[in-house]
Amino acid sequence: MSRPHHEQPPQTLLPQTRVVVDLGAVAHNIRELKGLLSPETKVMAVVKADAYGHGAVQIARTVLENGAHWLAVTRISEAVELREAGIKAPILLLGDVMPGQISYLAAHDIRVTLTCLETARVIAAAAKVNATPLKVHIKVDTGMGRLGILHDQFATPDQFIKPDNSLAPPLQCSEKILEIHTLKGIEIEGIYTHLANADTRDKAHAQRQISRFKLLVTELSQKGLAPPIIHAANSAALIDMPQAHFNMVRPGIALYGLWPSKETDHTRISLTPAMSIRSKIIHLKTVSKGFKISYGSTHVTRIATCIATIPIGYADGYSLRLSSMGEMIVRGSRARITGRVCMDFTMIDVGHIPGCRLGDEVVIMGSQGNETISADTIARTIDTINYEITASLTKRMPICYCHPGKK
């Protein structure tokens, strides 16, 4: 379930801490990405995980208004949310489905990913009762090792038992897909793979994946199956690997103004981060040298100083790993977190910042004055990736949307 979203929030009802999303930045980012594509290549915007913490419904509307053609999510609940919000664009479900969900998916024009022959048989059997075939996309594992029909490059020599109890060699990848093609109740609309290392400097593995995928698509075409939609490129491959574009791409993280990695070519386009997190000082106290702060008394002040309490904690998705390591911005200066991040509150040392008062704005992520703390800044502090920083935010923090020229 997504967090509460507010176009024009009633300020008296909102908590002090809030996520601010600039939809103008999202519009800019998708236009930048589309500038790398041929006119024929369509965009499937990945809006899973409550659109990476930015709010799925508003993000979906924004990307569709600015050139996206399709949407992709992982959980069926994410697809349901978009349909209930009145969004009509085609949606591909990247994750798993249960047979009992097929009627809803077919009725609401939600495409299904099939990742193995066994599941395809079950889904097809459930879909046969529908008036029209269920549209599906076949996922092929060309080297990610997560989901998908395993490419022949990785097939094992295992044998399987036929109905007459005799042994036969395993079906090749193309044979499995062709068998799925014969199943009643489903229609193969697309085929895709996912690249494991497109965001690294060494693209050799990604290039091998693309080559395997191209050969498979060619083989299927020669055998009479040519799915109209072919896709492989995530954000990194969209930016760095035009050979992976095919006729549709699946950008995710770059839509939100965040780079897939530092190794991705940052010179080809300009991305603008869409999210900031802002709060206020709700408590100030002057403490003496040797004062112990937060659970476990893990921080002891070295000098007399001023400690500010900020209403954000790990229940909001602000990582406990930032304890005594992270920073926030107050009055244009950085302030270090002191002690452990609590469930609901975090303390920062503002003793070096003149004039701090109750109610002063605190920038947890974003810019103030000449200082910026980005999702990448926070990620580096706790040895993770920017994806985790935004996608971990919880529904306790409302999302407030702004547009170009608005604050």
Q: How far apart are CA 186 and CA 360, in angstroms?
A: 58
Does the domain at 275-373 match CATH 3.40.50.10140? Answer given as no
CB count in 10 Å sphere of residue 354: 8
Cite the residue boundaries of each domain of the chain with CATH code 2.40.37.10. Answer: 275-373
Which residues have CB under 8 Å from 163's CB, separation 6+? none
- What's residue 152's pLDDT? 78
Which residues have CB under 8 Å from 312's CB, separation 6+? 17, 277, 279, 318, 344, 345, 346, 364, 397
Q: How far apart are CA 51 and CA 253, in angstroms?
A: 9
Catalytic residues: 48, 295
Q: How far apart are CA 50 and CA 250, in angstroms?
A: 16
Query: What angle (nearest 5°) sits at the alpha carbon of residue 108, between those of residues 101 and 118?
Result: 40
Q: How far apart are CA 387 and CA 256, in angstroms?
A: 10
Helix (H) or strand (E) holding 121: helix 117-127
Quickly tell me which residue has 């690997």 as its tokens.
241
User: Cα dist. 67→37, 88, 95, 251, 304 in Å?
Assistant: 12, 14, 24, 12, 55
Q: How far apart are CA 189 and CA 104, in angstroms?
A: 18
Q: How far apart are CA 339 and CA 349, in angstroms?
A: 10
- The candidate with the shortest Cα–Cα distance to 319, out of 381, 264, 261, is 381
Tokens of 63: 């990307």
Helix (H) or strand (E) holding 388: helix 386-391
- The candidate with the shortest Cα–Cα distance to 62, out of 35, 89, 93, 94, is 89
- What's residue 154's pLDDT? 65
Mean pLDDT by runs of 10 across the 407 residues of the chain is 54 79 98 98 98 98 98 97 98 94 92 96 93 94 93 61 56 92 97 96 94 95 97 98 98 98 97 98 98 97 98 98 98 98 99 97 98 98 98 96 65
Q: Are 319 and 379 a contacting pair, CB within 8 Å?
A: no
pTM of the model: 0.91
Classify domain 23-256 at the CATH class level.
alpha beta
- What's residue 80's pLDDT? 96
Cite the residue boundaries of each domain of the chain with CATH code 3.20.20.10. Answer: 23-256
- What's residue 155's pLDDT? 57
- What's residue 406's pLDDT? 43
Helix (H, G, I), strand (E, B) or coil at 373: strand
Q: Are 44 and 64 a contacting pair, CB within 8 Å?
A: no
Q: Are 364 and 378 a contacting pair, CB within 8 Å?
A: no
